[in-house]
Amino acid sequence: MSIGNQDWQALLTRIRDCRLCAEDLPHGPRPVVQAHPEARLAIVGQAPGRAVHQSGVPWQDPSGDRLREWLHMDAGRFYNPRQVALIPMGFCYPGKGASGDLPPMAVCAPTWHNALFQALPELQTVLLVGQYAQRHYLEQAHGRNLTETVKAWQRVPAPWFPLPHPSPRNRLWLRRNPWFEVDVLPALRKRVEGLWS
Ligand code: SF4
């Protein structure tokens, strides 16, 4: 289902004005999202980190650098909302915990994602980056954990495509799972390139 331009703009404004978690966000609400009804690719990540909270630019951090490298995608396309929608599981920075950033605010995706995805009728591929996106969107288990789910990417039905998080904290995971760069990344790049060819 698609929505009109006015409705679309109103939805984005409502998201950017959202204060639902104001009392639970240590740095306050600052929803970071990029989308447009013409987008063919959506990237569902985790939540903004501190740098993105400050800049307001999604994936403008080392994780984003690695993700663009995985996709062989330059910043011009990545930041064009008519091509790529950037939709985290939580739109606001949740703050830091004992071992890295806290999980995305649990209320965010159930509050906003359905309306957003209904407004993106051209989507053909949705990258599920990290465990939170995979747990939320993959109804059927494709493995016991993220590693098994990513390894089983060929059995995951379109439009979904599971990926590990590209955070520098995951360097060890990448070293331990060399099949990801050898088998999965070439297929991912082919799938993404095909969206605009
Ligand atoms: S995390 Fe989501 S639901 Fe919570 S304040 Fe931000 S936009 Fe609203």
Could you tell me the mean pLDDT of each successive run of 10 residues in the chain, 197 residues long? 72 97 97 97 97 97 97 98 98 93 97 96 97 91 86 95 95 96 98 95
pLDDT for the residue 197 = 86
pLDDT for the residue 3 = 60
Q: Please give the tally of structural domains in the chain.
A: 1
Alpha-carbon gap, residue 6 to 12, rounded angstroms: 10
- C-beta of residue 170 within 8 angstroms of C-beta of residue 133: no
Token pair recorded at residue 40: 């063919």
Alpha-carbon gap, residue 149 to 145, rounded angstroms: 6
Which residue lies with its CA nearest to atom 2 of ligand 1?
Answer: 108
pLDDT for the residue 99 = 84
pLDDT for the residue 1 = 46
Q: List, chain by chain if needed, residues with CB within 6 Å of any ligand 1 atom.
A: 18-21, 29, 31, 90-92, 105, 107-108, 111
CATH assignment at residue 76: 3.40.470.10
Token pair recorded at residue 148: 């098994």
Alpha-carbon gap, residue 80 to 35, rounded angstroms: 9
* 26 CA → ligand 1 middle, Å: 12
Tell me which residue range forms the domain holding 138.
5-196
pLDDT for the residue 2 = 54
